[in-house]
Amino acid sequence: MEDVAIKVENLFASYRKNTVLSDVNLAVESGSLTGIVGPNGAGKSTLLKSMLNLHPSLTGSVAFFGQPFKKMKKKIGYVPQRGSVDWDFPTDALDVVTMGLYGHIGWLKRPSRFHKEKAYQALEKMGMKDYAKRQISQLSGGQQQRVFLARALVQDAELYFMDEPLAGVDAATEHAIMTTLKELKTLGKTVMVVHHDLQTVAEYFDHVLLLNQTVIEHGPTNQTFTKDNISRTYGGNMRWMREEDHDVVPSIKQ
Amino acid sequence: MPYTGWIILTASLVGLSCGLIGVFLILRRMAMMADAISHTVLLGIVIAFIITREVSGTPMLIGAVLAGLLTTFLVQWLHSLNIEQHASMGIVFTTLFAVGVILISTSVGNAHLDVQHALMGEITFIPWNTMSLPVIGDVPKATALLALAFVIVLSFIVAFYKEWKITSFDPALAASLGIPVVFLHYVFMSLVSITTVASFDSVGAIMVVAMLITPAASAYLWTDKLSIMLVLSSSFGVISAIAGYYTAVWLNTSISGSMAFATGLVFLVSFVFSPKHGLIAKYVKPAL
């Protein structure tokens, strides 16, 4: 792996006294599209948030192209879980997308026509131009997710982190989002996506990160996403039974 | 200006500032923080009084801001120690308020400061306690303080409008864009404290909560645009202030009480008749 976009070393993080991430080490190849997969409570969202300084990490270091987060934050786009915001907020779709540009606009300035135009183009790209002036609570779940993705696109980042962008969306939205993600990859962007649907992992992602409190396995999907690795990630019970098996056999021999 | 004019101007300034600040309190889902801060600023005022020996503008504002920041900080700190958010608010503000009450009765003596006054306010006496300002002439002290608070609140909201919007809607995105979310949170809480302490003399700690929350909650029902919500909320605040005053004169009752009651009426009307989110609209045209 010659070109490392993201490097995480010895990352520990806890959530309300419970350790959620322990000793996470990983290096993500530049220009890769990685699916982060693991059971509920495996720390997938926490991993994204810890990398982006949104959740305090106990120890460890995170570097983006060899730089700390502070120096790189303008090159990083983040798509939070859809449920993390209040969709009754008094604003429209175009306005939400424009928020992605607030980092570029700077203090004391208002979004100009140029920024609005950029936001509008991003909405159009996600097939949402007819909904630009629609109040956000009146959008469907899939449409809300497209607005979020459009907002990430206007940021024009190098690295994208997305938390379950495909959760609870309709087929058309899923298709639109995956087309966009693959396009980002072709443009050389590095994308990390928390994903929940094991069936589509092989089709959607070229790399996979199997996570359960720590990195179980990480690498190209065709080598990493194997039955054995998946059961090591998910199957607490399966693994336990097999280990017991292992113990039982020698004890009989004795 | 006649007596009535000063009262109405003072009350309208309360309505304006509280209406603006209230919008963000509602959108940040922190309505109860208004209740907390409206009580703890008493401690700030008392301490400012103990140090400077007078109940006047600037020391009071500074004391209130410090008390507000202390409240915010302690609530966050308790919450981070695994105590539920509203429980930590309840613990912090009652304790700080109690310290204020004890200080009033032990260290302040018979000064122009008492618990009754702090809780209920006394807008009736405001026009008689004046100060001289250049150009404008004699102005009631409380009105001048409120005008100052309004200018501060308005300029902060206008200057950082998009920052308030994004940190209220999606703080995680704001943080990832490098906007100082925590710092802005403390700035916002300082604005809440300034508004509260400036409104203190006129409407008191309990009524200021009504003026902060109810007009904004009503405005929320009428519009889907933040800028319009701000305009509506401050208008509702002013309308309630004026309507409250005349009701009080008519019924010969407490002015601040009538104003708070008027905000409740505005909310009731909005809740029933708002074309977007009102009861009747929902009944006639079911939600999507």
Q: Is residue A254 predicted with pLDDT exceeding 80?
A: no
Q: Could you give the 3-state DSSP secondary structure of residue A59?
A: strand
**pLDDT of A115 above 90:** yes
pLDDT of amino acid B223? 93
Contact B169 A89 (CB under 8 A): yes
In the predicted model, what is the mean pLDDT of residues A31-49? 93
Two structure tokens written together for A11: 């990352």
The parent domain of residue B190 ranges over: 3-212
Whole-angstrom distance, CA of residue A243 vs CA of residue A180: 43
Q: Is residue B248 part of a domain?
A: no
Distances (CA, A) of B41 to A157, B65, B119: 44, 8, 11
Give A103's contacts in chain B (Cβ within 8 Å).
177-179
**Residue A146 confidence (pLDDT) above 90:** yes
Which residues have C-beta within 8 Å of that of residue B89, sequence separation ≥ 6?
A: B32, B33, B35, B36, B75
Report the pLDDT averaged over residues A39-62.
92
Which of the two residues, B54 and A56, has the higher pLDDT score?
A56
> Whole-number mean pLDDT of chain B?
89
Instruction: Report pLDDT for B112.
Output: 63
Domain ranges of chain A: 4-82+157-253
What CATH number is given to the structural domain containing B38?
Answer: 1.10.3470.10
Give the per-residue pLDDT at B202.
78
Interface of A with B in 84-103 (CB under 8 A): 84-86, 89-92, 96, 99-100, 102-103
Least confident span in A148-152, A181-185, B101-105, B246-250: B101-105
Mark yes or no for CB contact A91/B173 under 8 Å: no
The yes-or-no verdict on residue A244 having pLDDT over 80 is no
Question: What is the arithmetic mean of pLDDT over A204-219?
Answer: 95
Q: What is the mean pLDDT of residues A112-124?
A: 95
Beta-carbon contacts of residue B77 (< 8 Å; ≥ 6 apart)? none
- Residue to test with chain A: of B167, B169, B227, B231, most A Cβ within 10 A: B169
The answer to whether residue A7 scores a pLDDT higher than 90 is: yes
Measured between beta carbons, the chain A residues lying within 8 angstroms of B178 are 73-74, 103
Per-residue confidence (pLDDT) for residue B106, from 0 to 100:
86
- pLDDT at res. A169: 92
Contact A185, A32 (CB under 8 A): yes
Q: Which residues of A touch B82 (CB under 8 A)?
A: 16-17
Grouping H, G, I as helix, E, B as strand and the rest as coil, residue B146 is helix
* Mean per-residue pLDDT, B20-46: 92
Of A122-126, A240-244, B6-10, B178-182, least confident by mean pLDDT is A240-244
| Residue B244 near residue B260, CB atoms below 8 Å | yes
Give the integer Cα–Cα distance in Å for B267 and B26.
Answer: 14
Give yes or no for a contact between B21 and B180, defined as CB atoms under 8 angstroms apart. no
In the beta sheet, which residues pair with residue A37?
Answer: A210
Q: Do B226 and A90 touch (CB under 8 A)?
A: yes
What is the widest separation between alpha-carbon atoms in chain A?
80
| H-run or E-run covering A238 | helix A236-253
What is the pLDDT, as a whole number, of residue B287? 52
**What's the CA gap between A174 and A167, in Å, rounded?**
9
What pLDDT band is residue B245 in, cutting at 50, 70 and 90? very high
Q: Residue B166: which of A74, A102, A138 has the nearest Cβ? A: A102
Does residue B47 belong to any structural domain of this protein?
yes
- Distances in Å between the Cα of A247 and the Cα atoms of A234, B71, B129, B153 are 21, 57, 87, 70
Q: Does B165 touch chain A (CB under 8 A)?
A: yes
Q: Give the per-residue pLDDT at B122.
A: 74
Instruction: Verify whether the Cβ–Cβ distance B179 to A103 is below 8 Å.
Output: yes
CB contact under 8 A, A85 and B170: yes
Residues of chain B with Cβ-Cβ distance to A52 below 8 Å are 175-176
Query: Which pLDDT does position A251 carry in this prediction?
Result: 38
Q: Is A73 on the interface with B (CB under 8 A)?
A: yes
In a domain, B277, yes or no: no
Residue B55's pLDDT is 67
- A contacts of B161 (beta carbons < 8 Å): 110
Of A49-58, A214-223, B126-135, the one with minimum mean pLDDT is B126-135
pLDDT of residue A128: 94
Mean pLDDT on A60-89:
92
Max Cα–Cα distance, chain B, nearest Å: 61
**CB-based contact B82 A17, cutoff 8 Å:** yes
Q: What is the CB neighbour count within 10 angstroms for residue A61? A: 11
The complex scores an ipTM of: 0.88
Position B55 in a domain? yes
Q: Tell me the pairing of strands A4-15 and A18-29.
A: antiparallel
- Closest in A85, A110, A137 to B169, CB measured: A85
Contact A80 B172 (CB under 8 A): yes
Total domains present in chain B: 1
Distances (CA, A) of A150 to A91, A124, B81: 16, 9, 37
| pLDDT of residue B37 exceeding 70 | yes
pLDDT above 70: percentage of residues in chain A: 92
State the DSSP H helix or E strand holding residue A163, giving kind and residue range, or none if neither.
strand A159-163
Rounded to an integer, the average pLDDT of A84-107 is 93
SS3 state at A208: strand
**A248 has a pLDDT exceeding 60:** no
Give me A69's structure tokens: 């987060």
Q: Is the pLDDT of residue B206 over 50?
A: yes
Kindly tell me the burial class for residue A31, based on how many C-beta atoms sit within 10 Å of its own C-beta (0-12, 13-18, 19 or more).
Answer: middle
Superfamily (CATH) of domain A4-82+157-253: P-loop containing nucleotide triphosphate hydrolases (3.40.50.300)
Answer yes or no: is pLDDT of B283 > 50. Answer: yes
For range A156-178, the mean pLDDT: 94
What residue in A sits closest to B219 (Cα-Cα)?
Answer: A90
The answer to which of B126-130, B186-190, B235-239 has the lowest mean pLDDT is B126-130
Q: What is the pLDDT, as a whole number, of residue A237?
A: 47
Q: For chain B, how far is it from start to end, CA to CA, in angstroms?
A: 52
Q: Is residue B244 part of a domain?
A: no
A242 to chain B, any CB pair closer than 8 A? The answer is no
Please name the residue of chain B whose CA is at the shortest distance from the CA of residue A135: B224
Across residues A4-25, what is the average pLDDT?
A: 91
Min Cα distance A253 → chain B (Å) is 51
How distant, in Å, are the alpha carbons of A112, A187, B5, B7, B201 from that of B12?
34, 56, 10, 8, 14
